Amino acid sequence: MDQQGAHWFKSSYSGGSGTECVEVADLRTAVGVRDSKRPYGLHITVQRNTWDEFVATVRRREL
């Protein structure tokens, strides 16, 4: 799925200043990640299990 058909959203942990935010999108078998200041710029795609491991590591404050 390309980024045009994806629903992008910011983390609830994003600051209110709008200067350091990323957005993510569910791309079915993967997760898209992009800079919120450049929504039409490039984005990366990460395998779902890799993203889940990353989020779990951050939640455990191991990163």
Q: What are the tens digits of pLDDT across the range 9-51?
A: 987 766 666 667 889 999 988 999 998 888 888 999 999 999 9
Long-range Cβ pairs for the range 44-53 (8 Å, 24+): 51/24
pLDDT at 1: 45
Report the C-alpha gap between 62 and 36 in whole angstroms.
25
Half-sphere exposure of 13 (CA within 13 A, CB side): 5
pLDDT at 4: 60
Global model pTM greater than 0.85: no
